[in-house]
Amino acid sequence: MVEPTDIVDTLSKTELVSKLNQKKKASSEMEQRQFAESLKETISDKAQRTQESMKSDMLIISKDKMEQERKKKDRKKMKKAGSQDDNSDQEETQHLDLKA
């Protein structure tokens, strides 16, 4: 048979054990909440970083386009200058022929 002191001791321990279990459960829930919050912050930080890099990529792309346009203009100028040089060369050769 069970002695009355054992019953009282067991009952007092069950209350403490139940409180400990509640605290453990609460702490695990708090850990999950903290993890979820940190995950949200990480995701938002990464989202902001990707937007910044997209802006810088657009700047690089626009600089490349400007450079290509400048090169096209330079080529056109060179062609025009080349055709004018050809005409002036022809005129000079004709002039040289006239002197000879």
Residue 4 lies in a domain: no
> Does residue 9 come out as left (phi exceeding 0), alpha (psi in the -120 to 50 range) or beta?
alpha
**What's the confidence (pLDDT) of residue 57?**
65
Instruction: Tell me which DSSP letter residue 40 carries.
Output: H
Residue with tokens 């060179």: 78
Residue 71 lies in a domain: yes
- Domain tally for the chain? 1
> What residue numbers bound the domain in which 55 lies?
17-100
Residue 85 lies in a domain: yes
Residue 1 lies in a domain: no
Which of 90, 72, 92, 68 is closest to 80 using CA atoms? 72
Q: Note the residue count of the chain.
A: 100
Residue 24 lies in a domain: yes
Q: What pLDDT digit, counting tens, does each position of 53-94 carry? A: 556 666 677 778 888 999 999 998 888 887 766 555 555 455
Alpha carbons 98 and 92: distance in angstroms, whole number:
10
pTM (two decimals): 0.34
